[in-house]
Amino acid sequence: MKRVITYGTFDLLHYGHIELLRRARAMGDYLVVALSTDEFNWNCKQKKCYFPYEERKRMLEAIRYVDLVIPEENWGQKATDVEKYHIDTFVIGDDWSGKFDFLKEKCEVVYLPRTPEISTTKIKQDLQK
Ligand code: C2G
């Protein structure tokens, strides 16, 4: 069984996120999503989530491509997660291109093209119009 992991906030979930999850899952048989906690988002990513962690987790768990949701609590947990969950492939959008190459010692690292025309920021701006 080929196991894949990805990380993110997934707040105001949209089809760009779904497309990432679909492609990530297609790279293996099992997809783990490490979901940024509210504290990690606020303290380390300067993101204030609209939906709290438990709601974002519930939505991700309802997506057919997602097999397991775990908390992302800090930047440094990835290498441990890869071992703990026996991950074969780490996947994330290419806005992070090169940032996680250190994981190549432990697993395959894949940066996927983002869905260009959609973002949470754009949604919020469009709703202001
Ligand atoms: N994404 C995408 N297309 C978009 C928007 C997002 O492919 N239009 C991808 C991102 O590249 C990322 C995933 O969807 O792989 C989740 O996006 P975010 O919630 O914005 O994740 P981010 O805040 O970048 O968190 O430790 C890594 C971080 O937790 C990643």
- Residue 122 has a pLDDT of 94
Please report, for residues 9, 71, 83, the alpha-carbon distance to residue 41 in angstroms, rounded to integers and kept in the order given: 7, 11, 24
- Residue 53 has a pLDDT of 98
E strands, 9-123, are 30-36, 68-72, 89-93, 108-112
10 Cβ inside 6 Å of ligand 1: yes
- Residue 63 has a pLDDT of 98
Cβ atoms of 17 and 123 within 8 Å: the answer is: no
Identify the helix (H) or strand (E) that includes residue 7. Answer: strand 3-8
Query: What is the Å distance from ligand 1's center to 6 Cα?
Result: 9
Which residue has a Cα nearest atom 30 of ligand 1? 8
* Mean pLDDT score of the chain: 97
Q: With the C-alpha atoms ordered 66, 30, 19, 75, is the resulting torsion angle positive or negative?
A: positive
For the segment 23-44, the average pLDDT, to the nearest whole number, is 97
* Secondary structure (3-state) at 67: coil
Q: What is the tens place of the pLDDT at every residue in 45-102?
A: 998 999 999 999 999 999 999 999 999 999 999 999 999 999 999 999 999 999 999 9
pTM as predicted: 0.97
Which residue has a Cα nearest atom 29 of ligand 1? 8
